């Protein structure tokens, strides 16, 4: 067989729900020569990675490491390590990712108690309290911090306290929130938390940072049965990350180099300035969209900085606009999912992609494309409004 031509990716501005654009330093790290996964130099990199992840998660948890697969594996790892058949779990569902958690809970053979809210809205703590009252012995309360499918930003502290009050573990999806807005694992009493590399950490997809509190580790230790997943069994993965360095699976070495560099970039910038950057760019995008009659679809007061769910104006062809942004401007934005399909666009401003340049590019492209799609705009209105928002800070 003749080999196909070399792959030459088109240049893209990645403003979808992930992956986000990757810093050149991280791309260079991917090309670093390989060492063995038990090489002393690699073991040192693992220790530094853990220390940096502890800082980014704002935790002292000893069990903090990246799972060797994308964010979904972090989700699955949390549930399969904490739940056993017959356990009860409360899962909050207001979008795609809560639904996935519920699916995994059932696959674990646990009893599922759902707490639901309409897509785009946040979960009401009173509904969690009511669900807990219906449980005999709830083991886990699970929730998504940043619902990437809807743009809703879930407050966590009150729900965390409800979980703690009944002795349940508090499990949080921070895939899109980590490094884009505050995530305070220890302060918010989160027992199990996972993220992904390709959202606000701006690393290619492939690793899922995870952290377990001492309480969660205790539950893991006291399991009656082995963890159902061999690959995601944290007792064995931890043995490789701990003093013993017992081989479990070969670490994805190049991805670890990339995450190490991505975390160094986060620390160089500082967590708080990084969150502030995400806030400023969101405010400017929102002001620009508003000036051309495009509103944010998620609940007012709970709109994510890093994922903007934008209502598509009546009569505008969702897919045609996204196609033109991609083909003519090299800009990728996301489509709506589930009940929001055809009703929203998802404009991500995550990590490296969260910049004034991104905001002006996408607003300009929309100003150009929307009139021909049937939604008239005042040329330059969005750009001026964004500029004014930046001037106000």
Ligand X SMILES: *Cc1c(COP(=O)(O)O)cnc(C)c1O
Q: Closer to ligand X at the Cβ: 196 or 288?
A: 196
Q: Pick from 72, 99, 189, 228: which binds ligand X (CB under 6 A)?
A: 72
Q: Which stretch binds ligand X (CB under 6 A): 23-31, 65-73, 295-303, 361-369?
A: 65-73
Q: Closer to ligand X at the Cβ: 153 or 257?
A: 153
Minimal distance in Å, beta carbon 4 to ligand X?
26
Minimal distance in Å, beta carbon 119 to ligand X?
13
Judged by CB under 6 A, the chain residues 149 through 168 that form the site for ligand X are none
Q: Pick from 182, 205, 313, 380: which binds ligand X (CB under 6 A)?
A: 205
Does position 97 interact with ligand X (CB under 6 A)? The reply is yes
Spell out the SS3 assignment of the chain: CCCCCCCCCCCCEEECCCCCCCCHHHHHHHCCCCCCCCCHHHHHHHHHHHHHHHHHHCCCCCEEEEECCCHHHHHHHHHHHHCCCCCEEEEEECCHHHHHHHHHHHHCCCEEEEEECCCCCCCCHHHHHHHHHHCCCEEEEEEECEECCCCEECCCHHHHHHHHHCCCEEEEECCCCCCCCCCCCCCCCCCEEECCCCCCCCCCCCCEEEEECHHHHHHHHCCCCCCCCCCCCHHHHHHHHCCCCCCCCCCCHHHHHHHHHHHHHHHHHCHHHHHHHHHHHHHHHHHHHHHCCCCECCCCCCECCCEEEEECCCCCCHHHHHHHHHHHHCEEEEECCHHHCCCEEEEECCHHHCCHHHHHHHHHHHHHHCHHHCCCCCCCHHHHHHHHHHHHC
Q: Pick from 65, 102, 162, 175: which binds ligand X (CB under 6 A)?
A: 175
Q: Pick from 61, 64, 81, 148: which binds ligand X (CB under 6 A)?
A: 148
Nearest residue relative to ligand X (C-beta): 71
Does position 196 interact with ligand X (CB under 6 A)? The reply is yes
Does position 144 interact with ligand X (CB under 6 A)? The reply is yes
Minimal distance in Å, beta carbon 72 to ligand X?
3
Q: Which stretch binds ligand X (CB under 6 A): 68-76, 121-129, 267-275, 360-368?
A: 68-76
Minimal distance in Å, beta carbon 104 to ligand X?
11
Binding residues for ligand X, per CB under 6 A?
18, 70-72, 75, 97, 144, 146, 148, 173, 175-176, 196, 198, 205
């Amino acid at each position: 067989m003749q080999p196909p031509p070399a792959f030459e990716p088109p240049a893209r501005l990645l403003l979808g729900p992930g992956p986000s654009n990757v810093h050149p330093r991280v791309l260079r790290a991917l090309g670093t020569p390989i060492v063995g996964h038990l090489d002393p130099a690699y073991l040192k990199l693992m220790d530094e990675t853990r220390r940096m992840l502890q800082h980014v998660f704002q935790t002292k948890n000893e069990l903090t490491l990246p799972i060797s697969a994308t964010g979904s594996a972090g989700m699955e790892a949390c549930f399969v390590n904490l739940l056993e058949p017959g356990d009860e779990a409360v899962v909050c569902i207001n979008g795609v990712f809560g639904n996935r958690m519920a699916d995994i809970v059932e696959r674990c053979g646990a009893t599922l108690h759902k707490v639901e809210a309409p897509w785009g809205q946040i979960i009401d703590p009173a509904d969690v309290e009511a669900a807990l009252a219906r449980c005999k012995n709830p083991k886990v309360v699970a929730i998504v911090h940043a619902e990437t499918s809807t743009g809703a930003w879930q407050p966590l502290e009150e729900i965390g306290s409800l979980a703690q009050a009944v002795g349940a573990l508090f499990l949080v999806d921070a895939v899109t929130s980590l490094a884009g807005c505050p995530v305070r694992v220890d302060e918010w009493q989160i027992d199990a938390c996972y993220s992904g590399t390709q959202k606000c950490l701006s690393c290619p997809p492939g690793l899922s940072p995870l952290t377990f509190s001492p309480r969660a580790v205790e539950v893991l230790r006291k399991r009656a049965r082995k963890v159902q997943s061999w690959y995601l069994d944290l007792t064995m993965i931890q043995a490789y990350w701990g003093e013993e360095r017992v081989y479990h699976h070969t670490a994805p070495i190049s991805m670890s180099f990339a995450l190490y560099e991505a975390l160094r970039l986060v620390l160089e910038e500082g967590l708080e300035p990084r969150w502030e950057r995400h806030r400023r760019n969101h405010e400017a995008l929102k002001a620009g969209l508003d000036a051309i009659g495009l509103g944010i679809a998620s609940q007012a007061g709970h709109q994510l900085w890093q994922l903007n769910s934008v209502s598509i104006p009546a009569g505008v062809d969702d897919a045609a606009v996204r196609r033109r942004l991609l083909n003519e401007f090299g800009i990728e934005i996301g489509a709506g999912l589930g009940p929001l399909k055809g009703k929203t666009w998802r404009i991500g401003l995550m990590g490296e992609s969260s910049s004034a340049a991104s905001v002006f590019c996408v607003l300009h492209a929309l100003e150009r494309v929307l009139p021909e799609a049937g939604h008239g705009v005042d040329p330059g209105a969005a750009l001026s409004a964004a500029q004014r928002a930046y001037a106000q800070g």
